[in-house]
Amino acid sequence: MLTLPFKIQSVQNVLSISSFSENAQEIKFFDQNLVEIQTVNFRQKFGYISKAYAEDRQQIWLLDESAKRLIQYKFREDQIINSYPIDINFENILDFLVFDNKIFLLTQAQFSVYNFKSEKIFQATVSEGKKLRRENKRVLIMGKNFVQEFENLVLKTIFKEEDLQIVDKNRSAYFGIKGNKLYLYPLNDK
């Protein structure tokens, strides 16, 4: 049991599962058995980190709310690779990821894409979005009862099932929870 709340990030590699705590200002890495491998503390080096995104065990993308910047941090060498001033509202961000020189943000009411100069490339209204996930060149938005895909500046719904409480996706199926039951939906049903 962890004494402070940690949010498990999207699992890209089951051998390295990351979780971030805004309260503790640290990120923890776990192996496939949920044994802690490493902890990276941000308190001494940065201001207030509101969100962190770690896709691999080499670098972490950080949203530093106090300095209003996006930081690319190579934590194994304790080195800041890049720091980008970013003029966005940090307050309502639920999830973010960085890919292909773009920042993908999910808030309570919308999905936005920015470049590293804080220029908005794309924005769309999304109701009840929960988290972002990247699969190859696609960015997926997982919502309460839907999965949307963002690719080539187009946002489209690729799965939707009413009355679901939680929806997620793996490589072989969409799955959702409804009334304490787990339902699996094949990927080719759209």
pLDDT per position as a tens digit, 102-144: 999 999 889 999 999 999 999 999 988 999 998 888 899 999 8
99 lies in the same domain as 63: no
CB proximity list for 91: less than 8 A, separation 6 or greater: none
- The two structure tokens encoding residue 16: 């390295």
Residue 29 to residues 20, 99, 120, 166, Cα–Cα distance (Å): 9, 21, 32, 25
Asked whether residue 2 falls in the same domain as residue 55, the answer is: yes
- Judgement on whether residues 122 and 151 belong to the same structural domain of the protein: yes
Q: What is the pLDDT of residue 41?
A: 93
Residues 78, 59 share a domain: yes
| 59 and 99 both lie in a single domain | no
Largest CA distance in the chain: 49
Q: Domain ends where: 34, 55, 86?
A: 86
Of 31, 62, 86, the position where a domain reaches its end is 86
Q: Nearest CA to 134 among 45, 40, 55?
A: 55
pLDDT band at 189 (very low <50, low <70, confident <90, very high): very low
Whether 115 contacts 105, CB under 8 Å? no
pLDDT more than 70, % of the chain: 93
What is the structure's pLDDT at 166?
A: 86
Instruction: Give residue 54's domain range.
Output: 1-86
Question: 130: closest CA among 156, 180, 90, 169?
Answer: 169
Half-sphere exposure of 159 (CA within 13 A, CB side): 24
Phi/psi class of residue 136: alpha, beta or left (left: φ > 0; alpha: ψ in -120 to 50)? left
Rounded CA gap, 120 and 114, in Å? Answer: 4
User: Are residues 174 and 184 in contact, defined by beta-carbon separation less than 8 angstroms?
Assistant: yes
Do 54 and 23 share a structural domain?
A: yes
Q: Are 147 and 141 in contact (CB under 8 A)?
A: yes
Q: How many domains does the chain have?
A: 2
Q: Do residue 70 and residue 129 come from a single domain? A: no
Choose one of 43, 70, 86: the last residue of a domain.
86
This prediction's pTM? 0.86
